[in-house]
């Protein structure tokens, strides 16, 4: 790997931040003032949460940037109708139930096409209807609820409240969960709290939905906690509805119209700790990733760090940027060849689950186990026993391998079942050595470096964690001795340098540096030569970016600084061409140190708005 490439990413991040260095509107003026007051009050009471959606229903019409009417079609024993959902001008959304010409109509609004979120806190303040023959509801829904085979993990109907029992004259209502469709495989769970006065006046109903469980609240008090069905992991939309049906009693006995009055709806997310996320991202080991992707990753983290210092980005925006930077990393195994595993090499411990419609229950244990090596992330292992599950590969006598990297992919929506899974190896099939344990798992590929890459093994086993049913989608094994030259950093720098040259921002010596780098890229398979060429080109790319930055700064003396640095870079390049590597590296390092200092100063001065007052000291710092 390249030992002295850290300067370039830092400088590029600073420069790009400096170079790269909205309006929100509300439909109704009344909503603006009311929403602000309520938000401030609630934010102080909900420390650690950030509002992602809210509506106080001010003004005289529904805000259609947030809501849409449910389709006007038959629903249970009545019809959904746009006319029955409206804002009353007194700060309430009205979901009404009425009778017209012998037919029953009710209102329904949804955020299906305007707002979806997975996890968070969802709250409504509402006055519940009391007549019979229908029920009102505040609920979350996802298009994945009907998918069969993954329980509620791929989508759950979450009813924060339903009022079907109001007609019985009690103080009872219900929370509920539904998953795996509404037919043969339907699963559900419910709770029926009884709270005196719940059908009188306004009350708040809330749900905290996290990765482990659902927690329901009424007027700030917990009423139900559950993880039934496996907690949903997919975004859901918000709905406020009323539906006519016999579950709520006899509609003919109802004194209509009746109304659900909604004071507000608010949705929050846990405020991410952007600083902690950035610190953790900076700890990712460089040697695990391709040179090019890690170079760009470091550059992006530096840009994010400066954006954080500016203070004009939210924690969510910063957290998303950090996550996107992490997703751009390419693991070193992408440049390596995995072991080819055939079906005859693989044996399994158990038969498949018989009640999982996503699996062929007629598969033998060995056929099922091979699904982990079929290069299809949509297939997976699901044994009929929760514990002591394994998948074994026999490489054959004389084909023993030393393994360096171990990659596994979790079954979709079952990442938790991969935690604590292991890969072990044996020379004789009896005595086993641990190669790696998957402790922190996530969606996509989970990768660990083998604890023993110096010993060749014949037998390799994936051991499912306790209670996991062997759930895994794919397993990949990478030998220690099959390596390809990593030219990704050099390729990235050539692309950046070429673009700078095309845009007219390159130093005078950049074309010469690009030509040298291109020759190495095309002709060399020696990793040291490739890394050295990348280090050398890196300085000229960062120098060209600095040239552009200085030129755009437009302060007196910029031309002198540009000329001085250009001469120094040219001398360093000539030294490199003559093969005087030690001298070349010394010159390049001196220049890059000056570029770092210059960029930090210019960035700081640009931030404080006193750039021109400092131009003479800047000139002295790079020309002395």
Q: Tens digits of per-residue pLDDT, 110-161?
A: 999 999 999 999 999 999 999 999 999 999 999 888 888 899 999 999 999 9
Q: Which residue has the tokens 């700790």?
A: 273
Q: Give me the mean pLDDT over the 400-409 stretch.
A: 96
SS3 string of 183-207?
Answer: CCCCEEEEECCECCCCCCCEEEEEE
Share of the chain above pLDDT 70, in %: 79
- 482-491: average pLDDT: 86
Q: How far apart are CA 123 and CA 127, in angstroms?
A: 13
Residue 583: what pLDDT?
55
Is residue 204 scored above 70 in pLDDT? yes
- Residues 158 and 153: their CA atoms lie apart, in Å, by 12
* Per-residue pLDDT, 545: 64
Q: Which residues pair with 347 in a beta bridge?
A: 392
- Local structure of residue 562 (DSSP, 8 states): H
Average pLDDT on 3-25 reads: 34
Q: Which of 295-299, 517-521, 548-552 has the lowest mean pLDDT?
A: 548-552
Find the radius of gyration of the CA atoms of the chain.
31
pLDDT at 237: 98
**Strand 103-106, strand 78-80: pairing:** parallel
Q: Assign 532 a pLDDT band (cuts: 50, 70, 90).
A: confident
- The DSSP output letter for 336 is S
pLDDT value at 483 more than 80? no
**According to the CATH classification, is domain 49-270 in 2.90.10.10?**
no
CB atoms within 10 A of CB 55: 25
Higher pLDDT, 97 or 560: 97
236-245, 353-362, 482-491, 610-619: least confidently modelled range:
610-619
Indicate the pLDDT class of residue 441, thresholds 50, 70 and 90.
confident
Nearest Cα neighbor of 338 from 303, 371, 365, 373 is 373
When pLDDT is averaged across residues 266-281 and rounded to a whole number, the result is 96
Mean pLDDT of 349-373: 91
Residue whose structure tokens are 């130093």: 507
Secondary structure element (H or E) that encloses residue 100, with its range: strand 93-100
For the chain, the maximum distance between any two Cα atoms, rounded to a whole number of angstroms, is: 98
CATH 2.60.120.260 domain span(s) along the chain: 338-479
- The span from the CA of 87 to the CA of 28, in Å, is 12
pLDDT for 506 equals: 61
Average pLDDT along the chain = 83
> Where in the sequence of the chain do the CATH 2.60.120.200 domains occur?
49-270
What pLDDT is stored for residue 497 in this prediction? 85
Q: Which pLDDT belongs to residue 229? A: 95
Cα distance between residue 607 and residue 14, in whole Å: 12
Question: Which is more confidently placed, 5 or 312?
Answer: 312
Position 4 confidence tier, pLDDT thresholds 50, 70, 90? very low
Work out the average pLDDT over 515-525.
90
Mean pLDDT of 410-419: 93
Percent pLDDT > 90 in the chain is 62
Higher pLDDT, 168 or 40: 168
| Phi, psi dihedrals of residue 2, rounded to the nearest 5° | -85, 125
Give residues with Cβ within 8 angstroms of 571, minimum separation 6: 587
Residue 242 · residue 73 · CB < 8 Å: no
Q: How many CA atoms lie within 13 A of 547 on its CB side?
A: 26
Q: Please determine, for residue 577, whether its predicted confidence score (pLDDT) is greater than 80.
A: no
pLDDT for residue 44: 37
- Locate 179 and state its tokens: 């998953």
The mean pLDDT of 191-210, rounded to a whole number, is 96
CA angle 479, 485, 486 (to 5 degrees): 100
442: exposed, middle or buried (Cβ count in 10 Å: 0-12, 13-18, 19+): exposed
Task: Quote the pTM value.
Answer: 0.78
Q: pLDDT tens digit string along 53-91?
A: 999 999 899 999 999 999 988 888 899 999 999 999 999
**Is the predicted pLDDT of residue 33 greater than 80, yes or no?**
no
Q: List the CATH code of the domain at 338-479.
A: 2.60.120.260
What is the distance between the alpha carbons of residues 62 and 87, in angstroms, rounded to a whole number? 6
Residue 14 scores a pLDDT above 60? no
Q: How far apart are the C-alpha atoms of 486 and 352, rounded to whole Å? A: 41
Write out pLDDT tens, residues 586-608.
555 565 555 555 545 544 444 44
């Amino acid at each position: 790997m390249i030992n002295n490439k850290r300067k370039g990413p830092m400088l590029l991040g600073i420069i790009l931040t400096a170079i790269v260095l909205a309006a929100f509107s509300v439909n109704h003026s009344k909503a603006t003032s009311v929403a602000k007051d309520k938000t401030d009050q609630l934010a102080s009471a909900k420390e650690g949460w950030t509002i992602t959606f809210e509506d106080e229903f001010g003004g005289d019409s529904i805000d259609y940037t947030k809501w849409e009417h449910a389709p006007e079609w038959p629903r249970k024993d009545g019809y959904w109708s746009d006319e029955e959902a409206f804002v009353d001008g007194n700060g309430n959304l009205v979901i009404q139930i009425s009778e017209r010409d012998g037919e029953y109509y009710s209102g329904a609004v949804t955020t299906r096409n305007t707002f979806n979120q997975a996890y968070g806190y969802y709250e409504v303040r509402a006055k519940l209807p009391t007549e019979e023959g229908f029920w009102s509801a505040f609920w979350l829904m996802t298009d994945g609820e009907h998918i069969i085979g993954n329980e509620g993990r791929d989508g759950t109907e979450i009813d924060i409240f339903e009022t079907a029992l109001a007609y019985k004259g009690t103080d009872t209502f219900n929370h509920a969960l539904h998953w795996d469709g509404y037919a043969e495989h339907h699963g559900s769970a419910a709770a029926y709290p009884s709270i005196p006065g719940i059908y009188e006046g306004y009350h708040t109903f809330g749900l905290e939905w996290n990765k482990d469980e659902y927690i329901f609240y009424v007027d700030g008090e917990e009423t139900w906690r559950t993880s039934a069905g496996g907690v949903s992991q997919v975004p859901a939309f918000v709905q406020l509805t009323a539906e006519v049906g016999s579950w709520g009693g006899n509609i003919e006995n109802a004194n209509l119209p009746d109304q659900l009055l909604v004071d507000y709806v608010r949705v929050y997310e846990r405020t991410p700790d952007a600083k902690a996320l950035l610190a953790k991202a900076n700890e990712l080991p460089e040697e695990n990733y391709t040179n090019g992707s890690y170079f760009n990753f470091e550059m992006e983290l530096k840009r994010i760090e400066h954006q954080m210092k500016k203070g004009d980005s939210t924690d969510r925006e910063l957290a998303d940027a950090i996550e996107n930077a992490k997703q751009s990393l390419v693991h070193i195994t992408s440049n390596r060849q995995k072991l080819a595993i055939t079906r005859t090499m693989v044996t399994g411990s158990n038969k498949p689950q018989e009640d999982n419609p996503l699996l062929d229950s007629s598969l033998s244990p060995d056929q099922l186990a091979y699904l982990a090596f079929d290069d299809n992330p949509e297939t997976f292992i699901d044994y009929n026993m929760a514990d002591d599950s394994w998948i074994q590969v026999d490489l054959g006598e004389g084909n023993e391998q030393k393994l360096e990297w171990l990659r596994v992919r979790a079954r979709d929506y079952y990442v938790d079942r991969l935690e604590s899974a292991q890969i072990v190896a044996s020379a004789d099939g009896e005595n086993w050595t641990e190669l790696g344990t998957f402790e922190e798992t996530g969606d996509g590929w989970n990768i660990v470096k083998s604890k023993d890459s110096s010993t060749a093994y014949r037998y390799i086993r994936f051991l499912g964690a306790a209670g996991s049913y062997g759930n895994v989608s794919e397993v990949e094994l990478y030998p220690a001795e099959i390596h390809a030259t990593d030219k990704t950093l050099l390729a990235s720098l050539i692309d950046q340098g070429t673009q700078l040259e095309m845009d007219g921002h390159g130093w005078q010596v950049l074309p010469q540096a690009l030509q040298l780098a291109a020759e190495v890229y095309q002709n060399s398979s020696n990793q040291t030569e490739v890394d050295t060429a990348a280090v050398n080109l890196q300085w000229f790319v960062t120098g060209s970016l600095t040239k552009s930055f200085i030129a755009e700064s437009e302060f007196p003396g910029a031309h002198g600084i540009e000329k001085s640095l250009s001469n120094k870079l040219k001398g360093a390049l000539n030294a490199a061409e003559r093969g005087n590597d030690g001298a070349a590296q010394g010159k390049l390092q001196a220049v890059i140190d000056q570029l770092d200092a210059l960029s930090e100063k210019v960035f700081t001065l640009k931030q404080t708005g006193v750039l021109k007052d400092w131009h003479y000291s800047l000139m002295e710092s790079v020309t002395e």
